Amino acid sequence: MRKLINAPADVVSDALRGLAAAHPELTVDPGNGTVVRADAPRTGKVALVSGGGSGHEPLHAGFVGHGMLDAACCGEVFTSPVPDQIIAATMAVNGGAGVLHLVKNYTGDVMNFQLAAELAEDEDIEVTSVIVDDDVAVQDSTFTAGRRGTGATLFIEKIAGALAEEGASLADVAAVAREVNERSRSFGVALSSCTVPAAGTPTFELGEDEMELGIGIHGEPGRARAKIGTAAEIVDASLSAIDADMPLAGSEVLVLVNGMGGTPLIEQYVAYAAAAQWLDGHGATVVRRLVGPYVTSLEMAGCMISVCRLTPELTRLWDAPVETPGLRWGR
Amino acid sequence: MNARDLAAWVRYAAELVSADAERLTRLDAAIGDGDHGLNLDRGFRAAVDALPDGAPPGKVLIAAGRAIVSKTGGASGPLYGTVLRRAGKALGDADDVDAAALGAALKAALDGVQELGKAVEGDKTMVDALAPAVAAFAAALADGTGLAGCVRAAADAAAEGADATVPMRARKGRASYLGERSEGHMDPGASSTALLLRALAEVAGEG
């Protein structure tokens, strides 16, 4: 294992100490794994709390700041945070207008956030939870844990964060978060596995000419393994899977071509060129786009494409000012 | 069994989990995200540290369960925490745990896990080890078997239940994302649940 770390057990806390040093505008507790806006709690503003396993940076801690999250809870690598962290973050940001928990749909995340929401009730804090499940690679049926939360998490944190910044109610902020989730889909492809620092070896092995289709963001294997294709073929497979689930023709869309952590930006732009061409050829109009590593899976190579069918109001909220370590514009 | 025996169970379970952490993590890497042994090891170490002195058996398990929820994360934290907390609650304030009380505590643990995780037998989860263990315990008790024998029957059933998850297709948890590719691998949660029951059988056998 060749990693730029001090010790496998200290990766998360060391990284958070780095985040704190690089971003004095955040209040970071490296021991407890919480990252909070320095101006929290904001009286009368709905607060957004998200979190999950670490290893997806900049998600979630990198999206704490003006116009996005009020706090993030960072679990161990690929392991959901514990209720103690979530309740600490929730109490730190509660400004009396309620707290929205944005939870990616993984069994552990859902359970730990649910336990924390029950604790928050005991403290008389109103909590609403919205579950993110945008990954079309997983069949949404009683035979699975349901679709995973992946790239759309960024869309939801940005758009719901913008509405909360405008002073909207908890019900309205939760409603827009659900709306974005319903209008978003993602599909990911891995060209390599990744190594969880504490495990020390890659989670799965891929042959030189193989790729893994329909991956999540935790280095878990996907739905199928196939011979590696060109960027155009990989993008076609990804967007076809999305389009089959949520027809895109005639829509104005926001597109994220998301590097998984190990694929260089030049290849992400190769993929974006193919994606833009594909969408144009299939009758969708790209009105907003984002290219880069935003929701990563450690050093996994590959990319995930996320698409959101925008409305004028969602576009307006996407464009609203944001100032976080990982996303900033308009201020 | 008394409070000391149950604290010994938690300690011995922690030892077994620690010794087997790498194997559990390997099982998880095949159909999950490759951290089950590491997480459970961290959780049970915390449980050992949290064991109270001079508390009744129920409180011992509740304290251990709380520590696991606080320190583990993932799905295993809430689920294993629930096993110990629900079992502890079922034991109440009694100082001595007989076979009937222990059987009821294991049943309460199973109910708690199913409430939280919504899994049923056949989903390829820890329930596939815990449910047969509870049933085997009850059957042995009905036959007039003593406590140590009941726990031995439960531990054997849990081990068989874990083995039986190999051909199953997962319907809950991260392995369910793999669909048919989850077949042919033992469920790591069922395997670690069998370890817990084995630890309990060893401790009960000594007493």
Domain residue spans of chain B: 3-206
SS3 category, A66: strand
Please give the angle made by the CA atoms of A134, B171 and B20, to the nearest 5 degrees: 105
Chain A residue numbers touching B27 (CB-CB < 8 A): none
Residue keyed to tokens 């996320």: A306
A108 touches chain B (CB under 8 A): yes
Q: Which CATH superfamily is domain A184-310 in?
A: Dihydroxyacetone kinase; domain 2 (3.30.1180.20)
Q: Do A107 and B70 touch (CB under 8 A)?
A: no
Q: Looking at the complex, does the CB of residue B55 fall below 8 Å from at least one CB of chain A? A: no
Residue B174: the pLDDT is 82
CA-nearest residue of chain B to A112? B78
Residue A148 contacts B, CB cutoff 8 Å: yes
Residue B137, pLDDT above cutoff 70? yes
Mutation test of the interface with chain A: which of B23, B26, B33, choosing the one with the most A Cβ atoms within 10 A? B33
- Chain A contact present for B189, CB below 8 A: no
Position B85 pLDDT exceeds 70: yes
- Whether chain B has a CB inside 8 Å of the CB on A218: the answer is yes
3-state secondary structure of A5: coil
Query: A52: nearest CA in chain B?
Result: B74
> Cβ contacts (< 8 Å) between A79 and chain B: which residues?
35, 39, 73-74
Any chain A CB within 8 A of the CB of B192? no
Nearest CA in chain B to A77: B35
Q: How far is A298 from chain B (nearest CA, A)?
A: 12
Give bridge partners of residue A26 from the DSSP assignment: A37
Over its length of 331 residues, how does chain A's per-residue pLDDT go in tens digits? Answer: 899 999 999 999 999 999 999 999 999 999 999 999 999 999 999 999 999 999 999 999 999 999 999 999 999 999 999 999 999 999 999 999 999 999 999 989 999 999 899 889 888 999 999 999 999 988 766 677 889 999 999 999 999 999 999 999 999 999 999 999 999 999 999 999 999 998 888 888 888 899 999 988 887 777 789 999 999 999 999 999 999 999 999 999 999 999 999 999 999 999 999 999 999 999 999 999 999 999 999 999 999 999 999 999 999 999 999 999 999 999 8
Q: What's the pLDDT at A140? A: 65
List Cβ neighbours of A310 (8 Å cut-off, separation of 6 or more).
Answer: A183, A251, A252, A253, A254, A287, A288, A318
- A60, A66, A218, A282: the catalytic one is A218
Instruction: Find, among B77, B68, B88, B79, the residue nearest to B1 by Cα.
Output: B88
Helices marked H in A228-311: 231-245, 265-281
pLDDT tens per residue across span A239-270: 999 999 999 999 999 999 999 999 999 999 99
Partner A contacted by B32 (CB < 8 A): yes
Note whether A102 and A130 are within 8 A (CB).
yes
Q: Is the pLDDT of residue B207 over 60?
A: no
Taking the C-alpha atoms of residue B28 and residue B45, their distance in angstroms, rounded to an integer, is 20
Per-residue pLDDT, B34 = 80
Measured in whole angstroms, how far is the alpha carbon of residue B135 from the centre of its chain? 14
Per CB-CB distance under 8 Å, the chain B contacts of A8 are none
Helix crossing, B3-19 with B21-31: angle to 10°?
60
> Cα(A190)–Cα(A222) distance, rounded to whole angstroms?
8
Average pLDDT over residues B130-153: 97
Of the candidates B35, B71, B116, the beta carbon closest to that of A198 is on: B35
Multiple choice CATH, B3-206, 2.40.50.140, 2.60.120.380, 1.25.40.340, 1.20.1090.10: 1.25.40.340
Edge-first strand order for the sheet with A285-292 is A224-227, A210-213, A184-190, A302-309, A252-259, A285-292
- The answer to whether A56 is a known catalytic residue is yes
ipTM: 0.79
Q: What is the pLDDT of residues B173-183, one digit of tens each?
A: 888 888 888 99
Domain ranges for chain A, please list them: 11-183, 184-310
The Cα B16–Cα B44 span in angstroms is 10
Q: Is A66 a catalytic residue?
A: no
For the question of whether the overall pTM of this predicted structure is more than 0.80, the answer is yes
- B61/B54 Cα distance (integer angstroms): 13
Which CATH number is associated with domain A11-183?
A: 3.40.50.10440
Give the pLDDT score at B35. Answer: 83
Q: Shortest CA distance to A260 belongs to which of A228, A230, A227, A220?
A: A220
For B75, the closest chain A residue by CA position comes to A108
Give the residue, B73 or A163, on which the prediction is more confident: A163
Q: Which of A56, A60, A66, A101 is catalytic?
A: A56
